[in-house]
Structure 1
């Protein structure tokens, strides 16, 4: 830990309040409260050494996958060190930490990945005290309770009278809590040495392994291969001592400790527990007088030479063994076969394995039973077998090659653990059930065409490139010699050896295209930026709104700007300064269906911001600056409940649904729905929003053609009644990661969602596509999932992506394809919680067969991480903005890029059109004129107006309406109802041979909720 600075409480108070105490000092200092020199009043902000009865501990980073101090927290726009201290002290925690000027967190320990940072990093002023620092982005100013034991220090029971120096090299500690070092052990000869329980974790430590095994009540825990943990009360046969120096792999979550190695376990034993190795077995019960009913003598059988023929269970050696006692023991354990061998050994199974056959020569089974010398208990390498009916027999186990439906082909026995690296990255455990069918089926389900099995019970998934990159080569088949835990007739690898299979089915599990040149699209810089936006919206005037959070932008930022795309060649003319009153950080946004196309944001960061309802009426024209600004009156118009990270949606009746969120930053859930304009009813409670917090923030929501409301949150989904909001259909959970069913798609496990195209006459169920996300442990997902919620027996379809991606963005394009971009390859959403930017764009084409829809497009050089956005512009390009990771590595990004899709680069003729009728009722036929007679195939598309933030494109929708043309005169038919196209503004495009014209906005469905007359006291466009 960091050294704690110790100064008197008085020294701090004198420094902090010196100005207010000056009058008292002038009257004469008391001997008990002064020093020989008066302390000056502060002239610059500082970090005090003491706050109440808490002492300065140091500046710390957040944890690798969440909060460093996670027990309690709150946010306040008047935050001070004292208010945070009081809050955490009331909760009884030993640490309090302030972050980002206005956040407070409490805990008794630091979560994994939180590390010391320079004190100078904690340099953001407290929101309620200009003279003190309250952390920074991804930095906490931390204090520890006076006299409290620092959990980072070793306890008194494990230290000597001399202070222990900080480690300078990794080591194997003698004690881990109440477990003592036992030694370095090998795995067993036919599976795990400690086989009762286990788990794997990329942040493994000896402490986390100890906690897991202690919770299971086992006397041993063992860490292996840096990231694996196993528990048990004894060592399985074949596990032997190894030199301590063999256990030399660093723990994945603690570089200072060793966690075993390949085929080596760092083993600890519970303090005070009896070591089962040297102890005598317990006295067995008195042998029963008879065999279990129906059991008969099956004769003498050779045990080997292909391995144990009864490998399922071996009882402890018994000096009172008889044939009856062995049979009764097996019967009591649920087995149907017993075998006695060599005086005192008893084996149980439900079948005879490894090609075991009866031995005609009964003289091979002539060693007397130690419990009854008149009976023969097998011999050296021979079993005397009794069973309930004739025993089933299986040939010696071999790698399974048949019964795989012609989809997988066995490749051989391959190396694993070369240079302490796994050959295949995804690891699963099936302790009692592993088989080729199970393992290969699981890998195929998540799109992995290479599968391997190891140690009998382990399953691995990956790609052919993983085998090549690892340098794994084929080994003799004899080195894969461990029976599958779920199939006694098959081999599932060996020690650091994989029984390797590759998908050879007629249809590949995935196919990615790799276009080049213009076919890959192009990133380019558009204009110099003025702000790091966390929300962008294109207005119906064609200009773009940029909204920024408070606190991390430039000092003179107003938090809101408008970009005139027609003026990008003139920086000063391109940008118009606008203003918001409260912090829109983590708010929701929509484009209203009123005739002005006003923009609405709701919710926000903390305090009054979370209740915020803000409106902007776009005005001006391209090249002509507008004069309108954001309107907000918190006293007159506010949400009923404050919300941080809600979602918003225009309903089929034109009202605004606001859903979910938390009361403030990382605080309690707001598990309700409310409607704007207010209906006079209280927000409606939703159990599923409370149960799944905090992994359900910014839920994906849309109107369905079946008249319900679809909601996807965390890994769940459901359909709500549009009037009562009761659940009318619970959908299956969305698949996530091959190794973690709890992987999610909504913030903070942030993916992105769009609606798949709807084509006239709109008789197919609407599809929802969700791409990317993460596991709760911060492993980014490499797949998309889709579903048709209205379909009977709706199920999710999973498709592999070319790379992992979290904090994903996705933009619908005019031609019906979708651009996937931005994000990171590891971590979760939040400040400093993700890394390894994904610079690559991917094009998703739903007209292609499933698993063949993705093309790997151009790369950018700009990291687009937390708080990045992407929206489709009227000119058919995608505007790419933002990135505010606060991680000390990647910048707050003000650069503004565009991605130009291939359809604008291939040199194809670009159509044009004009339309006067831009306000359509449902089923309305509108006329428009082409700029020239078409020479190629025409299509019309309509894209819903979008507000983009945190991967959530609120308002997204893609439709291809019916149309007809004669020469250059055309008509287009509006969608038939509000469930196909909810009321609102849509980008209209005309495409010729896939090349879109510059679009225009049209309104469909009018303003049925009369939002144009709401709210009173604001500038209103009317209806």
Structure 2
């Protein structure tokens, strides 16, 4: 009885616009999200993951820890005299997953991609940078396809410096900035400047590095509406003008003096940018991580409690300060994924220890939904979702799919593919988490996109979308937003971004069909050129997405 009352209150608070509909239809309550096992084994650990605009997901781990469980096609082997495990390897360490058919095929990477970074170019090509050992200065490119003949193309030695644990961000002009990496206190661009390919020193990275060159790896990068970068490393963050190579402002350190970057491995997102406001606010959120000295403690078998705090910083304020709050579950190595209805899911990770081989304990298998529009302290601010059946520790990842599910894979908490005699075996499975908005009990208020003027979304250009919905509430409950898919690895979704498009109006066409007039993004600083998933959201429930190209 108590459980039922809690579910009723959850639905009432989360979906107030159609709670009466559920009562009238006597729809059973009880859907708080759902897990689905997609593949018991894909043969590799999904350490790095990127959704492409043809609804394929490219995944890869690393080449230097022995044979995977996914063979390459007959007669294909990777021959690498510099590999630390196998100089001849006839197994794959990358694959292409097809969402519609739940199938996958192996891909060939030539050099080590461990702890690398990536961005998708405006034309949809994935540019993947760096890695370890013989892959540390290489870039690799993959153009979306499904044909058996297409694969990675590698460009050895393209990068000016080794990029291991670096972070990428797509820029308004279509270039990619590659920032940092282990013992790399500098940045560079792709494509490189033909006149000067030297790395550009960034003293902030050196200042935030501890004596072991840790806690500022995989720095959090977010492109802000003014075109500058927000960079967070260790406990500090700055507003950075990469065109002039100067720090414009340093923000206050996040309270607590505990690091949030690898190996402390919290996560960070840029909350949605809303074009319907007179002034577009940009707010950064950083959640979880591990206390200082956690890495050293784990080496001695002392697994410290992970951090349970989230910090929010409205960087567009004149004098921004961190606002701190508590998550219901402490978590390190958690992934934060923007959902199309303004919610954020925090998923994967552990409650004890830190990132690194054998350094995590106490898997946190229950996702948490965070609702930034609820007041701090509200009981609906955070909600705990149903638990997964599998722990996802070090080297797990998650991405949002066009149908609204969250794809989850990986977990390789120790060196090599160990499946026995270890506490947490390597996990090669693939799962999907369906948030509560995918419940069948809200189908009557779920919009379905029928038509859009064009798959090209021009800057400041008007577009029209028609959608159907069985139970319409009001125009004030309709919004359209675009989401850039992230390259996710090591608890950070690079290039992840949501923009709520300016809504001109909603007009009824017939009994259940409506069309919405929207305006394309106002600037490339707000939405860099490239492919985005477009969603119509009605009464807090999103449609399935539609791929559009912003240009």
TM tier relative to shorter chain = 0.7 to 0.9
Counting only pairs closer than 5 Å after superposition, residues 6-405 of structure 1 correspond to structure 2 as none
2:100 counterpart SS class: helix
Q: Distance in 1 between matches of 2:105 and 2:468?
A: 32
Q: Could you tell me which residue of structure 2 aligns to residue 632 of structure 1?
A: 154
What is the aligned partner in structure 2 of residue 952 from structure 1? Answer: 492
Any conservation in 1 of the 2:225–2:280 contact (CA below 8 Å)? no
Partner of 2:543: 997
Change (3 A) 1:833 1:514: farther
State the partner residue of 2:393: 865
Q: 1:521 aligns with which of 33, 38, 57?
A: 33
- Find out whether 1:725 has 2:245 as its counterpart: yes
User: Which residue of 1 is the match for residue 325 of structure 2?
Assistant: 799
Aligned to 2:418: none
C-alpha contact 1:549 1:583 (8 A) present in aligned 2:
yes
1:771 maps to: 287
| Residue matched to 1:537 | 50
- Deviations 1:889-922, CA, capped at 9 Å, x for gaps: 1011111111111111151123221335122221
Return the alpha-carbon distance in structure 1 between the equivalents of residues 401 and 187 of structure 2: 31
Alignment partners' CA distance in 2, 1:863 and 1:559: 21
Q: Pick from 928, 937, 943: which aligns with 2:465? A: 928
Distance 2:434 2:67 in 1: 28
Q: Partners in 2 of 1:517 and 1:579 — Cα distance?
A: 47
1:824 aligns with 2:331: no
Contact 1:800 1:851 in 2 (8 A): no
Deviation at 1:552, TM superposition (A): 4.8
Any conservation in 2 of the 1:934–1:992 contact (CA below 8 Å)?
no
Change in Cα spacing, 1:521 to 1:942, as seen in structure 2 (3 Å) is same
Asked whether 1:708 is paired with 2:228, we answer: yes
Select which of 250, 260, 266 maps to 1:751.
266
User: Bigger shift: 843-852 or 519-528?
Assistant: 519-528
Per-residue deviation at 1:652? 2.0
2:478–2:539 CA contact under 8 A, matched in 1: yes
Specify whether residues 567 and 954 from structure 1 end up closer, same or farther in structure 2 by C-alpha distance, changes over 3 A only.
Answer: same
Spell out the pairing of 1:431-830 with structure 2 (5 A cutoff): 518-530=30-42, 531-550=44-63, 551-552=65-66, 554=68, 556=71, 557-568=91-102, 574-594=103-123, 597-606=124-133, 608-620=134-146, 627-634=149-156, 638-662=158-182, 669-679=183-193, 680-681=195-196, 682-693=198-209, 694-736=214-256, 741=257, 743-762=258-277, 763-778=279-294, 779=304, 780-830=306-356
Within the candidate set 402, 410, 418, 1:874 is matched to 402
SS in 1 for 2:155: coil
Higher relative contact order (CA 8 A, sep 6+): 2
Rate the CA distance shift 1:796–1:918 in 2: closer, same or farther, 3 A. same
Deviation at 1:859, TM superposition (A): 0.9
Kept after mapping to 2: 8 A contact 1:806/1:828: yes
Q: CA offset at residue 523 of structure 1?
A: 1.7
In the aligned structure 2, how far is the partner of 1:687 from the partner of 1:593?
A: 30
Distance 2:54 2:60 in 1: 17
8 Å CA contact 1:787, 1:794 repeated in 2: yes
Cα RMSD, aligned residues only: 2.0
For residue 971 of structure 1, report the CA deviation from its aligned partner: 2.5
Tell me the alpha carbon deviations over residues 160-203 of structure 1, each in whole angstroms, 9 at most, x when there is no partner. xxxxxxxxxxxxxxxxxxxxxxxxxxxxxxxxxxxxxxxxxxxx
Alpha-carbon deviation of 1:962? Answer: 2.0
Tell me, in whole angstroms, the C-alpha distance in 1 between the residues paired with 2:32 and 2:237.
34
* 1:970 matches 2:516: yes
Secondary structure of residue in 1 paired with 2:206:
helix
Which structure would you say has the larger Rg? Answer: 1
Q: Match of 1:985?
A: 531
Q: Which residue of 1 aligns with 2:432?
A: 898
- Residues in 1 aligned to 2:316 and 2:172: alpha-carbon distance in whole angstroms: 16
Instruction: Please report how far the alpha carbon of residue 553 of structure 1 lies from its aligned counterpart in structure 2 after TM superposition.
Output: 5.2
Paired residues of 2:174 and 2:529 also in contact (CA < 8 A): yes
Aligned partners of 1:706 and 1:790 also within 8 Å: no
Q: Deviations over 1:103-126 (max 9, x none)?
A: xxxxxxxxxxxxxxxxxxxxxxxx
- Structure-2 residue corresponding to 1:21: none
- Taking structure 1 as the reference length, what is the TM-score of the superposition? 0.44
Q: Report the CA distance between 1:851 and its aligned residue.
A: 3.4
Shift of 1:651: 1.3
Contact 1:532–1:553, Cα closer than 8 Å, also in 2: no
Question: Structure 2 unaligned runs (5+)?
Answer: 1-12, 16-27, 72-90, 295-303, 416-421
SS in 2 for 1:566: coil
Give the alignment's TM-score, normalised by structure 2.
Answer: 0.81
Contact 1:518/1:905, CA 8 A, preserved across alignment: no
Q: How many correspondences in the alignment? A: 468
Task: State the 1:691 CA deviation.
Answer: 2.7
What is the alpha-carbon distance in structure 2 between the residues aligned to residue 932 and residue 856 of structure 1?
Answer: 29
CA distance in 2, matches of 1:955, 1:769: 15
Q: 1:518 to 1:986 in 2, by over 3 A?
A: farther
Q: In the aligned structure 1, how far is the partner of 2:241 from the partner of 2:354?
A: 32
The 2-side partners of 1:542 and 1:972 are apart by 25
Once residues 149 and 547 of structure 2 are traced to their aligned partners in structure 1, the CA distance between those partners, rounded to angstroms, is: 21
More displaced stretch, 544-553 vs 943-952:
544-553
- Match in the other structure for 1:942: 482
C-alpha contact (below 8 Å) 1:518/1:902 kept by paired residues: no
The answer (yes or no) to whether the contact 2:276–2:500 under 8 Å persists in 1 is no
Q: Secondary structure at the match of 2:385?
A: strand
Q: In the TM superposition, what is the alpha-carbon distance from 1:577 to its structure 2 partner?
A: 1.6
Q: Deviations over 1:414-443 (max 9, x none)?
A: xxxxxxxxxxxxxxxxxxxxxxxxxxxxxx
Per-residue CA deviations over 1:26-48 (Å, capped at 9, x if unaligned) read xxxxxxxxxxxxxxxxxxxxxxx
